[in-house]
Amino acid sequence: MKFAIIKERKNPPDRRVVFSPLKLAEAKKQFPEAVFKVESSDIRVFPDTEYKNAGFEVAQDVSDCDVMIGVKEVPIESLIPNKKYFFFSHTIKKQPYNRKLLKAILEKNIELYDHETIVGPKGFRLIGFGRYAGIVGAYNGFRAWGLKYNSWNLPKAGPLPNQAALIKELNAIKIPNIKILLTGSGKVAKGSQEMLDAMHIKSVSVDDYLNEEYNEPVYCKIDVLDYNKRKDGRVLNNTDLYKNPENYESDFMRFAKVTDYYIAGHFYGDGAPFLYTRADVKSRNFNIKVVADVSCDVDGPVATTLRASTIADPIYGYNPQTETEIDFKDDKAITVMAVDNLPCELPQDASEGFGDMFLKHVIPAFFNNDKDGILNGAQITKKGKLTERFSYLQDYVDGKE
Ligand SMILES: NC(=O)c1ccc[n+]([C@@H]2O[C@H](COP(=O)([O-])OP(=O)(O)OC[C@H]3O[C@@H](n4cnc5c(N)ncnc54)[C@H](O)[C@@H]3O)[C@@H](O)[C@H]2O)c1
């Protein structure tokens, strides 16, 4: 089996790669029978020379390989017919902008496997970048705070080499005695928490957070049952909320009253109460000044997020009275950082993590007859047709919806 690590061609460029030179060497060691070839790239976070030095062939032409492994969508003109491809295709939610791509994949008899559709036996995704989003999101929020209040001037995350460098920057500034709220219990929240802990910011309980004053910065990490309550007053469990969101209402304002900097790292389930609405933000009890919205559900549960922002221009202001965007430095503004592709700002670490996940969960399937059904479950197209699991995309491909 011959695998190609392909060049990213999407714009703006994504510097991540599925295998760093180090992880590719690990893959080769574990699977000596596999051949790995690297397509030359001048935008990848690891230069060609590092792959060459690790003993891999780097070439302009990888059309002799069987399996093409990339990160983002491959432009139609670069798709090589009759190959297997792995990348984030952004087609499974019928995204209109990628309809032509999926059509071309079928026409070119390509077997498409999407990183998003690679799931374990319980249906959980095996490839995800939440942790890196949480790491960069927390950092970007502190950066936004410094710019808003002219208290420090942190560099952007993208040009810094790795998480350790972000932590070094944060540890060189003096955070005032603010209260920091973090929502979520998954990978994003964990990534943000890593940063707060690395800054030695004290973690406090919900009760203390709501009631105590501190002469140091503190943070509180909360989950769904902290910021939602059942309308009938009963206290049940997370599953009850996931299953019956209509029985709940938001209990977020008690946190908004005391919070200065809010990091949104939760997963928002459809039908759940909004954490805070535009009306809530108008309240005198809403004291949040900076929001790093990593969850980034636009015009929804975190009402200050009017739109996703970009790595190039990550920060904007929200005017609570007019419910519109203003300069984030304006006195009236709540400052919002809502970049929706944060892992791209940490390409080196995210690539190392990508390789770990891909080597653990996907590469073995090529050599064990796919005994756990990883490839079978993730496959979107086969012999010019949609697979059964993805047959719901037929109308989308045909341009009927
Ligand atoms: N801005 C970015 O660049 C970026 C990058 C990655 C992820 N995200 C977003 O961040 C959010 C969190 O991602 P993650 O990787 O931490 O997710 P995750 O899958 O690791 O964690 C989700 C958590 O939510 C819980 N959960 C499951 N169903 C739920 C429901 N109905 N309501 C509330 N909680 C539920 C799960 O038990 C789990 O603890 C997602 O909305 C994701 O799209 C944003």
pLDDT per residue rounded down to tens, the chain (401 residues): 999 999 999 988 899 999 999 999 999 999 999 999 999 999 999 999 999 999 999 999 999 999 999 999 999 999 999 999 999 999 999 999 999 999 999 999 999 999 999 999 888 899 989 999 999 999 999 999 999 999 999 999 999 999 999 999 999 999 999 999 999 999 999 999 999 999 999 999 999 999 999 999 999 999 999 999 999 999 999 999 999 999 999 999 999 999 999 999 999 999 999 999 999 999 999 999 999 999 999 999 999 999 999 999 999 999 999 999 999 999 999 999 999 999 999 999 999 999 999 999 999 999 999 999 999 999 999 999 999 999 999 999 998 87
Q: Which residue has its alpha carbon closest to ligand 1 atom 22?
A: 186
Q: Which residue has its alpha carbon closest to ligand 1 atom 30?
A: 269
- What single DSSP character describes residue 396? H
Whether 72 is a known active-site residue: answer yes
Residues placed in the known binding site for NAD(+): 223, 294
Residue 340 has a pLDDT of 95
As a whole number of angstroms, the distance between CA 227 and CA 237 comes to 13
Judging by DSSP bridges, how do beta strands 324-326 and 315-319 pair with one another? antiparallel
Residue 375 has a pLDDT of 97
As a whole number of angstroms, the distance between CA 325 and CA 337 comes to 12
Q: Which residue has its alpha carbon closest to ligand 1 atom 26?
A: 267
For ligand 1, say whether the CB of 224 is within 6 Å of any of its atoms: yes
For ligand 1, say whether the CB of 129 is within 6 Å of any of its atoms: yes
For ligand 1, say whether the CB of 269 is within 6 Å of any of its atoms: yes
Q: Is 123 helix (H, G, I), strand (E, B) or coil?
A: coil
260 contacts 182 by C-beta, under 8 angstroms: no
Ligand 1: nearest atom to the Cα of 342: 3
Tokens of 386: 């949609």
Residues placed in the known binding site: 223, 294
> What ipTM, to 2 d.p.?
0.98
Whether 90 is a known active-site residue: answer yes
The kind and range of the H/E element at 317 are strand 315-319
What's the 266 CA to ligand 1 centre distance in angstroms?
A: 5
Residue 111 has a pLDDT of 98
Residue 12 has a pLDDT of 84
pTM: 0.92
For ligand 1, say whether the CB of 133 is within 6 Å of any of its atoms: yes
What's the 300 CA to ligand 1 centre distance in angstroms?
A: 15
**Residue of 23, 28, 37, 72 with catalytic role:** 72
What's the 186 CA to ligand 1 centre distance in angstroms?
A: 6
As a whole number of angstroms, the distance between CA 194 and CA 172 comes to 17
As a whole number of angstroms, the distance between CA 389 and CA 116 comes to 14
Q: Is 274 helix (H, G, I), strand (E, B) or coil?
A: coil
Q: What are the CA-CA distances from residue 399 to residues 109, 276, 391 (Å)?
A: 19, 37, 14
Which region holds residue 353: left if phi is over 0, alpha if psi is between -120 and 50, else beta? alpha
4 contacts 37 by C-beta, under 8 angstroms: yes
Residue 374 has a pLDDT of 97
Q: Which residue has its alpha carbon closest to ligand 1 atom 43?
A: 295
Domains, the chain, with CATH or none: 2-127+347-397 (3.40.50.720), 130-345 (3.40.50.720)
For ligand 1, say whether the CB of 220 is within 6 Å of any of its atoms: no
For ligand 1, say whether the CB of 245 is within 6 Å of any of its atoms: no
The kind and range of the H/E element at 220 are strand 218-222
For ligand 1, say whether the CB of 185 is within 6 Å of any of its atoms: yes
Q: Is 40 helix (H, G, I), strand (E, B) or coil?
A: coil
Residue 284 has a pLDDT of 96
As a whole number of angstroms, the distance between CA 66 and CA 31 comes to 16
As a whole number of angstroms, the distance between CA 92 and CA 97 comes to 12
189 contacts 134 by C-beta, under 8 angstroms: yes
For ligand 1, say whether the CB of 226 is within 6 Å of any of its atoms: no
**Residue of 90, 202, 229, 289 with catalytic role:** 90
- For residue 230, give every residue at least 6 positions away whose Cβ sits within 8 Å of its Cβ, in sequence order, or none: 236, 240, 247, 248
Residue 11 has a pLDDT of 87
* Percentages (nearest 5) of helix, strand, coil residues in the chain: 35, 20, 45
Q: CA 62, 68, 69, 73 torsion: positive or negative?
A: positive
What's the 267 CA to ligand 1 centre distance in angstroms?
A: 3
Return the best residue to mutate from 188, 192, 224, 305 for the ligand 1 pocket (most ligand atoms within 8 A of CB). Answer: 188
Q: Is the peptide bond before 12 cis (omega within 30 degrees of 0)?
A: yes
Residue 122 has a pLDDT of 87
Q: Is 3 helix (H, G, I), strand (E, B) or coil?
A: strand
